[in-house]
Structure 1
Amino acid sequence: MADDGMLLNFEIPADAFAAPLTKFKGGSWKDRLTARKAAEYGRKKASERKPQAQDVTQASVPESHQNARPAKRARTGDASVTNYPGDFVSSLFTFNPMSKEPREPPPTEDVNVEPSNAPLADDETAKFTTLGLSPTLAGHLLKKLDIKAPTAIQRKAVEQLCKDDTDAFIQAQTGSGKTLAYLLPVVERIATISRRMKDTGQDFNRHSGLFAIILAPTRELSKQISTVLDSLLSCYHWIVTGTVQGGEKKKSEKARLRKGLNILVATPGRLADHLNNTETLDVSMVRWLVLDEGDRLMELGFEQDLQKIISVLNLRSRKRQETTIPGLPDRRTTVLCSATIKSNVEQLQSMSLKNPISIVVDASENVGESAAEENNFSAPAQLKQSYAIVPAKQRLVTLTAVLKQTFKRKGSVMKCIVFISCADSVDFHFEILTRSGRRDATEGDSDKSGDHNTNTKPSKHLKKPGSIPQGNTISEIRTQGQASFSGKDNTVQVFRLHGSLQQATRTSTLKAYTQCEEPAILVCTDVASRGLDLPNVDLVIEYDPAFSKDDHLHRIGRTARAGRDGRAMIFLQPGCEEGYVDVLKEARPRNLTRHDADELLKKGFGNNKGSEESDNGWEVRATDWQLGVERWAIDNPKHLEQARRAYQSHVRAYATHVAAERHIFNMQELHLGHLAKAFALRDKPGSINVAGLRPGKDSGSKSKHSRLQKSGKGRTEKDDDLPAETDATEARRKMKTMSRAMGGASEFNLG
């Protein structure tokens, strides 16, 4: 047969004898199409691999290259987790934005930095007896309270307020003792009145009259002031003090007022309510009014309440001009305290003070420097500040690395505070940090979600381990637990605190954290950022940057108090957020160092056994920890809802930074997909919708007065940890727009 020149190609495809294609059944046609395309893509990639690359073994690799970074593992999914359509498992170390600012050399540490808020030198001119205090009170400070010398602001304020009846504005750094600066003169003056009454044959008791009122913006601060006042009055047991504040029963408060008080500590909203409805509250003899944390009082919307309180005091004092009490001043002295000076503070000053004397401590009085041009944004000189440049995907794992490294050595750090923007996020991170019932995944154990134990035992060193009331929070209702990275020999307790907890829970949690004798972490919102003097706080971490630079000042002021050392770290993302470093430098800190995420992850997840392990072991452990958290969230619907709600609230809160800083915290630059991984989510940002209020949130059953006790643009007393806003109208508009786009929740869950 002749050759006709025809050539037939009978080449067999490479995958002709491969396993038959898997048929995908069930689900919608879109899900089946997505699965089929993914399988085809995987087969295509497998066929493109070079044959010799599959035969390479560890033995054939040169010894000098065996410690190099291994090739990225194929994304095969997690056998222990059902991957739902739309889930996306991204790597922690790919496609992260790089820092725009070059790494500056670390500053040389000044070991001789003198504390700027420490008590003065113990000499004759720096003793309480030289400031006008009686020997009884001065001796009580020295012998019972172990306070040997006043701070600079206490020396000025006590001397001025003990001798004159003029209004005063007190401004000083955080942790410099402003509470004692106004309490000591008030106690001394009332004790003098009681002595004069006894000399004239009169009895001084709780029925003698109410002589002083101290107003604080938050319930926690009012409770702390009351505690300090009780310690001072233990040498004057006949002077009676009491508190009225939101969250408490009005009936018991009315009974307390009916019995009689000499000094009253209150929050403005509750005091204004008692002035209206409690007839037994007689304020005609009030001669000392103290407004503590004046800027916060105005930010929380207490302007109308303060105006009402001041007008009532003025009116009722005029009606009672004649008095039989010897030594009682003719006019009222009003004292305004604030660590910062802002426009709202000046407004409050003009509203409440008449010809005030400014009591300010310059930096030159403590550290030997020239006074700053403006003393409205400064931190204690001995405070060591740092900032960490962390990509959005690595935020959660880097926070864990920092905490692991911080509490690595027993006794090195006693207390730590982690500030977070909103209550939902606090609940989520508390549950993450207290995932107990198993050892940390970084130690080599598998992180199985079924091992989750919610019955964490409180610290054995607490007086009443089980006395903490349970608040209205998502998931397991706890306010204390043991950190998941705790070791057998070094246990770390974790507490949470925010404004949406019940008041009894907030009070007892703060007390338990203060009394805890083990290393402890407090995860909280800004409800704990103002005025609270928490002992042994060595480190403050701003996981979410403050909503204004003044709030940042108050946050870091929880450490390095009264001359003690302290550290503060703030998390910033690469890009526009690095501009916040210039804001930090405005305070001219003595120590401001930079950390990168890789540096912190190496320290937290690095090998503790030396240099035997490869350099990239920390990446594997950090990735395993992150995947374990994601499995923990996916396997439990409550945890998944909690993570989504926290993510949603965090994004909304991000839009509430003050207008002057919105170019730094720019919503347009925020990578929502990367940020979702920091909340253990594998969902696409557009599909993260959790409508409605958080479980336990007040859904409207209370009265309008208790739910909406607002004035103008202000907030309720219950919302005392909401972020501050300069232009509330614009912020509210943006947040409502985002709310409609992300599920239509009616509240922003920032409290």
Structure 2
Amino acid sequence: MADDGMLLNFAIGESVIKPEAKFKGGRWRDRLTAKKRSQHHPNPNADLSTRRESKNPNHIQVPSTRPAKRQRTSDSDAHGEDRRSRPQQHPPQRKNPNEFVSSLFTKNPEAQNALEPKNDEPVEDAKPTNAPLIDGIDTFTNLGLSPNLAAHLLTKLELKAPTAIQRSSISQLLKEESDAFIQAETGSGKTLAYLLPLVQRIMALSKATEEAGLHRDSGLFAIILAPTRELCKQISVVLENLLRCANWLVCGTVIGGEKKKSEKARLRKGLNILVATPGRLADHLDNTQVLDVSNVRWLVLDEGDRLMELGFEEELQGIVSKLDARQRPSRIPGVPTRRTTVLCSATLKMNVQRLGEISLKDAVHIKADPTDEDENKNGKDEDEGFRVPAQLKQSYAIVPAKLRLVSLTAYLKRTFIRKGSVMKVIVFVSCADEVDFLYEVFSKKHGQRREDTPEKEEDEEKKSDDEKKDDREALSPHGTIAPGTAFSNPSNPVILHRLHGSLPQHVRTATLNSFSKSTNASVMICTDVASRGLDLPNVDLVIEYDPAFSSDDHTHRIGRTARLGRDGRACIFLQPGCEENYVDILKRGYRDGGKALTRTDATEILKRGFGSTNGSKSKNWEEKTTDWQMDVERWALENPKYLEMARRAFQSHIRAYATHIAAERSMFNIKDLHLGHLAKSFALRDRPGKINVPGLRTSQQETKKDFKAARGGTGQKRKAGASDDVPASSNADDAARRMRAKMREHMAGANEFNLA
């Protein structure tokens, strides 16, 4: 390039461009270390032109960044002051060495979807869609029920009028003996829709036998199958109340979790109507000779979609084939020659249609409103007929992973701030370990700071534990009921319950009965074991802390409220990001396209729950929220038992998160989870790699340790009482068997229904 004759002369000070120090001599690794040290700890007062030279050729020549030492002459300085008496300069330290800082409100992702503007127009209350008919035209007597049974419904059960699905099904099932498929929304009274015609027909058989009549030895005439033990118990209670008008008829149950010896004794005495789970009934059909099904003429499959989802297809096929093979002509006059099968479900999914092909023949489709069937024929999706009750007010909350625990606490605190406003709340989570963890967090003594002497600390801790134990034992000897200290207040104490499938059956039954009959404000933390068919009175609010594994399960969950025309509310927690797309699925269940679906954010929830009510002198909501979170984290760190419980809950939650159905897995992608933030909601301060989350890559040292443990050690004998995950054994087959048993124990959350 030719020279253009221009001359540039810019003077740039050293404050703008600092000359880079050059390092000479020594090994390249030492030069690189010295260069990095000088970059991270520069000394602006050092003169780069002056360097100390070393006689050692291998010595690295670096700039002098260390100030000259002052020569020490004595213990006193020039002014005569003793240096040892002068306060030393230390870096600032925290007031309490055990204190640590929270990061609740930092680096939280924001919601992707913009908040829709609120509509100030008044919204009219929707007319209940599952309420009893009150027009005065339809009564139980007009539907064909006997006057005795109709009077019993009115006087003993206080049922004056049927619901829409009861009106359609009772008249159809009493008129014809054909198979039927009953489809209706949750909370509309499907149980009585098939029980009333069933009891009416068996009572008619008793009138036909004028000489002796029916009694428990006459044989088994009907079998009702339900997916869960709790639903079987509830059906049995409703059936017992109906049969009080016919004392000669007897019903009973055979479900998992009870002794088979007592069930065999019950079958030996004789039953007319049997309520059972598929697994236990199939077991009795194969192994119990006293179970005679030759007279069974009515088979009811309740919650058919859930029966298929839980993998009961093979058992149901076996039950239907055994009933067909063992059916014999009855000696009792009036008994039909063929068996009538009734299938109840809220949807017409493919698995329900497959179940209908197995059990139904020329079935009649019964719906609450015949016009809905006409609408489906005009091109609407049949699955959209599965709608939530119109009077149910549902909302969703966008809550970051770090704020999940404090947001749930704040939501419950706000819910029970006034006595009588809300009576009962159900909180649904995804796994049993998470139920136990939240139960312990919400029932602990909060706000107790340890100050004073260690002896007093121990006395206070012991006293607190003893008081806590006494309170729990007074409420429940099984440890499933306790005071909800996290969201109670002096004017409105709240009782806390926990329920999941890993509990013994008698504990599950006692806990559910206590929650149902409680007259105080109550909260039940549970898994999906309580999501299907249970009619729990006075449930005002349902909170889905963890989203359901499918949209159908979501609708069944929120169906525990707003039943039989009563009002109800439901709220689901969603994380910012891809989970926000789940809102489109929530809107499908509404007849108005989801206009009634409202949104709230974590900030609004925390302000309402932890906000100040005493003026500006008290702490703000952020400080109160942080203090509560820190209290829970200290509680977990100081108690190894609860720390292990929190880790198990964290691991089980991640396992459960990966089990969403394939159609919705894009909204609940486990790869999008921020495990570090999620651990914060379980009061964990360790990084996820140290929590041993399944699926994460372990270090090479940990892999070697696990491999040695699987081989039974390094040649030395294992210490007695060692708590390794893999038990020691000299026999490889025995070790493999114990390993599989240990894995089944850890994976109990995947099989937590215990439905056998």
Same fold (TM over 0.5): yes
Tell me, yes or no, if structure 1 residue 594 matches structure 2 residue 599: yes
Partner of 1:553: 555
* Code of the aligned partner of 1:488: P
> How far is the alpha carbon of 1:466 from its aligned partner?
5.2
For residues 102-138 of structure 1, give each alpha carbon's deviation from its aligned partner in whole angstroms, at most 9, with x where no partner exists. Answer: 00023555333100111112412x1000111001111
1:573 corresponds to: 575
Pick the aligned partner of 2:305 from 295, 311, 319.
Answer: 295
CA gap 1:219/1:745 in 2 versus in 1, 3 angstroms: closer
Equivalence for 2:721 = none
Q: How far did 1:652 drift?
A: 1.1
Q: For residue 196 of structure 1, what is the aligned residue in structure 2?
A: 208
**2:172 equivalent to 1:165:** no
Q: 1:340 maps to which residue?
A: 347
C-alpha distance in 2 between matches for 1:216 and 1:78: 57
Instruction: String of CA shifts for 1:159-198, please: whole Å, max 9, x gaps.
Output: 111121100000100000000000000011111111221x
* SS of alignment partner, residue 142 of structure 2: helix
Selected match of 2:127 from 89, 102, 114: 114
Tell me the CA shift for residue 14 of structure 1: 13
1:237-259 Cα deviation digits (max 9, x unpaired): 11101000000011111010000
Structure 2: how far apart are the matches of 1:325 and 1:631? 71
Measured in 2, the distance between the counterparts of 1:413 and 1:383 equals 15
1:24 aligned partner: none
The alignment partner of 1:220 has SS state of helix
Q: Say whether residues 1:388 and 2:409 are aligned partners.
A: no
What amino acid does structure 1 have at the position aligned with 2:368?
V
Provide the identity percentage.
59
The 1:457–1:632 alpha-carbon spacing in structure 2 relative to 1, beyond 3 Å, is closer
2:266 matched to 1:260?
no
- CA separation in 2, counterparts of 1:16 and 1:549? 76
Task: Write the mapping of 1:48-59 to structure 2, written as runs, cut at 5 A.
Answer: none
**How far off its partner does 1:308 sit?**
1.1
Partner of 1:408: 417
For the residues of structure 1 that align with 2:66 and 2:261, how far apart are their CA atoms?
90
Match of 2:679 among 673, 676, 681: 676
Residues 1:748 and 1:214: Cα distance change in structure 2 (over 3 Å)? closer
Which blocks of at least 5 consecutive residues in structure 1 are unaligned? 1-5, 18-41, 47-74, 84-88, 471-476, 692-738
1:15 and 1:506 map into 2 onto residues whose CA distance is: 75
- Whether the 8 Å contact between 2:164 and 2:369 is mirrored in structure 1 is no
Q: How does 1:412-451 map to 2 (within 5 A)?
A: 412-436=421-445
Judged with a 3 Å threshold, the aligned counterparts in structure 2 of structure 1 residues 204 and 688 are, in CA distance, closer, same or farther, namely: same
Q: Distance in 2 between matches of 1:100 and 1:498?
A: 34
- Residues 1:456 and 1:180: Cα distance change in structure 2 (over 3 Å): farther
Of 239, 256, 262, the match for 1:246:
256
- Cα contact 1:436–1:454 (8 A) shared by 2: no
Q: Say whether the 8 Å CA contact 1:168–1:336 is kept in structure 2.
A: yes
Q: 2:315 aligns with which of 290, 305, 319?
A: 305
In 2, Cα distance between equivalents of 1:190 and 1:673: 60
Residue aligning to 2:144: 132
Shift of 1:582: 0.8
Q: Give the aligned residue type for 1:605.
A: F
Q: C-alpha displacement at 1:276, in angstroms?
A: 1.1
Deviation digits for residues 69-117 of structure 1 (CA, Å, limit 9, x no counterpart): xxxxxx9496446x8xxxxx54111100011110002355533310011
Q: What SS does the aligned partner of 1:224 have?
A: helix
Q: Which amino acid aligns with 2:403?
A: Q
* Candidates 489, 511, 514, aligned match of 1:512: 514
Contact 1:493 1:519 in 2 (8 A): yes
Report if the CA contact (8 A) 2:372-2:385 is conserved: no
Tell me if 1:234 matches 2:244: yes
Quick one: structure 1 residues 7 and 206, their matched pair in 2 at CA, closer, same or farther if it must change by over 3 Å? closer
- How far, CA to CA, are the matches of 1:272 and 1:744 in structure 2? 24
Aligned to 1:531: 533
Contact kept, 8 Å, 1:438 with 1:451, in 2: the verdict is no
Please point out which of 108, 133, 147 is paired with 1:96: 108
Count of matched residue pairs = 614
1:472-491 equivalences in 2 (<5 Å):
477-491=479-493
Comparing 325-334 with 587-596, greater Cα deviation is found at 587-596
Q: Distance in 2 between matches of 1:682 and 1:451?
A: 28
Give the conservation status (yes or no) of the 8 Å contact 1:458–1:480. Answer: no
- Residue equivalent to 1:633: 636
Partners in 2 of 1:492 and 1:516 — Cα distance? Answer: 11
- Quote the offset at 1:274 in angstroms: 0.8
Q: Are the aligned partners of 1:384 and 1:590 in contact in 2 as well (CA < 8 Å)? A: no
Pick the aligned partner of 1:620 from 619, 623, 627. 623
Question: Is this contact kept in 1: 2:235–2:275, CA < 8 A?
Answer: yes
Deviation at 1:326, TM superposition (A): 2.2
1:404 and 1:15 map into 2 onto residues whose CA distance is 62
Structure-1-length-normalised TM-score: 0.77
Name the CA shift for 1:655/1:485 in 2 (closer, same or farther; >3 Å): same
Q: Say yes or no: does 1:686 pair with 2:695.
A: no
1:716 is matched with none
Distance in 1, matches of 2:300 and 2:449, equals 49
Q: What amino acid is the match of 2:636?
A: A
* 2:219 alignment partner, one of 195, 201, 209: 209
Contact 1:645 1:690 in 2 (8 A): no
Equivalent in 268, 285, 289 of residue 279 of structure 1:
289
Aligned residue in 1 for 2:136: 123
Query: Is 2:326 the partner of 1:316?
Result: yes
Structure 1 residue 293, shift from structure 2 partner:
0.4
2: distance between equivalents of 1:653 and 1:479? 25
Equivalent-residue separation in structure 1 for 2:480 and 2:201 (angstroms): 45
Q: Is the 8 A contact 1:268 1:306 kept in 2?
A: yes
Match of 2:168 in 1: 156
Whether the 8 Å contact between 2:229 and 2:277 is mirrored in structure 1 is yes
Give the 3 Å change call, closer, same or farther, for CA 481–162 of structure 1 in structure 2. same
1:31-89 deviation digits (Å, cap 9, x = unpaired): xxxxxxxxxxx95xx7xxxxxxxxxxxxxxxxxxxxxxxxxxxx9496446x8xxxxx5
Shift of the alpha carbon at 1:483?
A: 3.1
Amino acid at match of 1:113: A
The SS at the match of 1:129 is: coil
| Aligned-residue RMSD, C-alpha | 3.3
Cα distance between partner residues in 2 of 1:656 and 1:109: 41
Task: Provide Cα deviations, 1:473-496, integer angstroms capped at 9, x if missing partner.
Answer: xxxx54444333312221100100
Equivalent position of 2:697 in the other structure: none
Give the letter for the 2:177 counterpart: D
C-alpha distance 508-746 of structure 1, shift in aligned 2 (>3 A)? closer
Partner of 2:699: none
Q: Secondary structure at the residue paired with 1:749?
A: helix
Cα 1:361–1:457 change in 2 (3 A) is farther
Check whether the contact 2:480–2:499 (CA below 8 A) recurs between aligned residues.
no
Unaligned residue ranges in structure 2 (runs of 5+)? 1-48, 52-62, 72-89, 451-456, 695-738
**1:56-95 to 2 correspondences below 5 Å:** 76=94, 79-80=97-98, 90-95=102-107
Q: Which residue of 1 aligns with 2:338?
A: 331
Looking at structure 2, the residues matched to 358 and 326 of structure 1 have their Cα atoms a distance apart, in angstroms, of 29
Amino acid at match of 1:576: C
Task: Give the counterpart letter for 2:275 in structure 1.
Answer: V
Check conservation: 1:218, 1:267, Cα contact below 8 A: yes
Structure showing greater relative contact order (alpha-carbon pairs closer than 8 Å, 6 or more residues apart): 1
Q: CA deviation at 1:451?
A: 6.8
